[in-house]
Amino acid sequence: MLNKLIQKVTRKQNRTEEPTEINPQSSSTNDQTLLSQDLKENLKAINSIFDNTSDLIIREFIIGTELHVKAFAVMIAGLINEESVNENLIRPLMSLNRDISLESVLKVVKDSALFVASIQEKQKLDDLVTGILSGDTALFIEGTDSALLASIRGWEARGVDEPKTESVVRGPREGFVESLGTNTALLRRRIKNSHLKFEKMTLGKQTKTEICIAYIDGIANEKIVQEVKDRLTRIKTDSILESGYIEGFIEDAPYSLFPTVGNSEKPDIVSAKLLEGRIAVLTDGTPFVLTVPYLFIEAFQNSEDYYSRPYLATCIRWLRWLAFFISTFLPALYVAITTYHPELLPTSLLISIATASEGSPFPIIVEALLMQVAYEILREAGLRLPKAVGQAVSIVGALVIGDAAVSAGLVGAPMVVVVALTGISSFVVPALTDVTTVTRFVLLILSGFAGMYGVMLGFAGFLTHQISLRSFGVPYMSPLAPLSPSGLKDVFIRAPWWAMTFRPRLIGKNPTRQKKSLIPLPPNENPDN
């Protein structure tokens, strides 16, 4: 209800406010200036646009040994492969000795003179500037009102290696990198299908960041694909520096704690989601790829579950669910039971807790809040410091603070155990670490005021909110709500591959994943033999 009210107020403000210009120089950048046939005018325009740009390279030369047509190439140092520019563009043009006319020089150069795979003919200066800033080389020729964009990109890039945030014991160890072309190739290697589509677009008025929408035609729902395109098209901002910028603009519930857009830096995970009918959004400059629609249960699924036997994968999935509930509810339940409902505990355990907390000057709720805040500070320090120092700070800090707090009588030993178990459990489901951190504090405060009633009230509120969420029109809690029996084969358990005949029904338009009755049988019982 509160989210709907906030959205109404926001829409009303957007209608009443006067539109403001994002870019103070938009009057010049929005002009679609056409090229001139005068080479000097084009050179003057380029120098004017790239004024005070030290990494700009302008190479003037003569085409041909007989024709003597003036030309110049424009490129950005560091974004192009200079050796390839010299060998595949400048050298062939300067040594061109064919008998051609001035009127046909552009066509000859484009069709048979350059040793470049991708060449585009442009007539607008803005298109050429965008190509140059993206790493292409622009070729201007005297007497033509068109220029050629040759794709000869070659900047330093990180090699494909194992991602640090999604390591596995069994499975592919390749991870996405910061190069958009490399990332699309990694997906293409896994899905060798002409129906795998990549649609590029540019976002960010200043950064002009290239993004790519990936989906499998025939499996993905066309309405969801179009909705993704519409939401991306509505983004009008100065900069897109990482996929997290895009996530903030396209998610369904921006005021919700729960993420409705997924992300991954492993090609096998993104490929599996594409094959289920989801849409991926790749962003140049980051290894994290967004996937939509995103469901709550995806946080408990790991790529390794599908490479291992189903029995172990099911047990590990139960552990993830248990760890999620421990990290979310354990501190609140401890405070509620010890403060308001001690009769729920065995007498011996209650005596041990009372003895350990006897010298503490603070109520249980204050102890819990202090220890939770101290834990979050240590966790943040361990993440932000250099790796070797961060590990030492985390371990030593936890030991010193925990032991010193108990020895000084500030907190009881059971509280330290509860906070430690909560912290460890929160890392079992990394996709929901930020969610469990906030919900843990909310439930902790409610338990301090109302005991178990407060915990149940908070749980009911969060559950109701989750059920009301949508991710690009798909219920966030599906297949649990609404209930889909076939989808339960991949929620609390991981059914064998031969039993998962259907894809998630509410995501893609083609629900059949594979042929029925693929259960392995001995040779004498196999009907195909």
- Residue 29 confidence (pLDDT) above 80: no
Whether omega before 163 lies within 30 degrees of 0, making that bond cis, reads: no
Residue 214 within a domain: yes
Same domain, 202 and 254: yes
For residue 213, give the 3-state DSSP assignment.
strand
Number of domains in the chain: 3
**pLDDT band, residue 155 (cuts 50/70/90):** confident
Token code pair at residue 345: 């505990």
89 in a structural domain: yes
C-alpha to C-alpha distances, 57 to 80, 137, 193, nearest whole angstrom: 10, 10, 40
262 lies in the same domain as 386 = no
Report how far apart, in Å, the C-alpha atoms of 1 and of each of 13, 255, 329 are. 19, 12, 25
AA letter at 37: Q
Lowest-confidence region among 228-232, 420-424, 454-458, 475-479: 420-424
Structure confidence at residue 16 as a pLDDT band (50, 70, 90): very low
Percent of the residues in the chain that have a pLDDT greater than 70, as a whole number: 88
CA distance 338 to 366: 13
Assess if residue 207 is contained within a domain: yes
- Check whether residue 232 and residue 368 sit in a common domain: no
pLDDT tops 50 at residue 31: no
263 with 366, same domain? no
Whole-number average pLDDT of the chain? 84
Q: Point out the least confidently predicted range of 25-34, 46-55, 262-271.
A: 25-34
* Average pLDDT for 396-401: 66
Please tell me the distance from the alpha carbon of residue 263 to that of residue 119, in angstroms, as a whole number: 33
Inter-residue contact 81 to 109 (CB < 8 Å): no
Residue 493 CB coordination number (10 Å): 15
> Are 337 and 412 found together in one domain?
yes
The residues near 285 (Cβ < 8 Å, ≥ 6 apart) are 178, 180, 209, 241, 242
Distance CA 474, CA 492 (A): 20
Assess contact for 529 and 523: CB atoms under 8 A.
Answer: yes
- Using a pLDDT cut of 90, give the percent of the chain over it: 35
Count Cβ atoms within 10 A of the Cβ of residue 364 and give its class: 0-12 exposed, 13-18 middle, 19 or more buried.
buried
**Together in a domain, 279 and 317:** no
Dihedral sign computed on CA atoms, order 301, 306, 310, 316: negative
Identify which of 37, 89, 26, 93 has the alpha carbon closest to the alpha carbon of residue 65.
93
> Token pair of 244, please?
């997290």
Distance CA 141, CA 61 (A): 10
Spatial CA neighbour of 281 closest among 482, 525, 472: 472
Position 323 confidence tier, pLDDT thresholds 50, 70, 90: very high
* Residue 260 and residue 476 in contact, taking contact as beta carbons nearer than 8 Å: yes
Q: Are residues 204 and 351 in the same domain?
A: no
Q: Is residue 283 part of a domain?
A: yes
Q: How many helices (H) and strands (E) does the chain have?
A: 18, 12
Over its C-alpha atoms, the chain yields an Rg (Å, rounded) of: 30
Determine the pLDDT at residue 2. Answer: 44
Q: Is residue 184 part of a domain?
A: yes
Tokens coding 283: 């962003």
DSSP-derived letter for residue 239 is -
Residues 190 and 265 in one domain: yes
Query: Are 275 and 364 members of one domain?
Result: no
pLDDT tens string 75-122:
998 888 888 888 888 888 888 877 676 677 888 888 888 888 888 888
Give the pLDDT band of residue 22 (cuts 50, 70, 90). Answer: very low
Give dist(CA 136, CA 150) in Å, integer. Answer: 6
Whether residue 467 is found in the same domain as residue 366 = yes
* Cβ proximity of 175 and 163 under 8 Å: yes
Q: Please report whether residue 299 resides in a domain.
A: no
Residues 317 and 466 in one domain: yes
Choose the final residue of a domain: 431, 449, 471. 471
Give the whole-angstrom CA distance, residue 419 versus residue 412. 11
**503 in any annotated domain:** no
Q: What's the whole-number mean pLDDT along residues 376-387?
A: 76
- Collapsing DSSP states into helix, strand and coil, what is residue 264? strand
**Alpha helix (H) residue ranges in 35-167:** 39-49, 82-85, 91-94, 105-108, 125-133
Q: Is a pLDDT exceeding 90 seen at residue 245?
A: yes
pLDDT exceeds cutoff 70 at 174: yes
Cis amide prior to 331 (ω within 30 degrees): no
* CA neighbours closer than 13 Å in the CB half-sphere of residue 520: 2
The answer to whether 353 and 414 have CB atoms below 8 angstroms apart is yes
Of the ranges 237-241, 315-319, 337-341, 360-364, which one carries the lowest mean pLDDT score?
A: 360-364
18 lies in a domain? no
Q: Of 106, 129, 150, which residue constitutes the final position of a domain?
A: 150
Range of the domain at 255: 180-294
Higher pLDDT, 370 or 323: 323
Q: What is the mean pLDDT of residues 339-368?
A: 83
pLDDT value for 26: 40
C-beta of residue 341 within 8 angstroms of C-beta of residue 450: no
Same domain, 324 and 415: yes
Name the nearest CA neighbour of 33 among 21, 25, 45, 17: 45
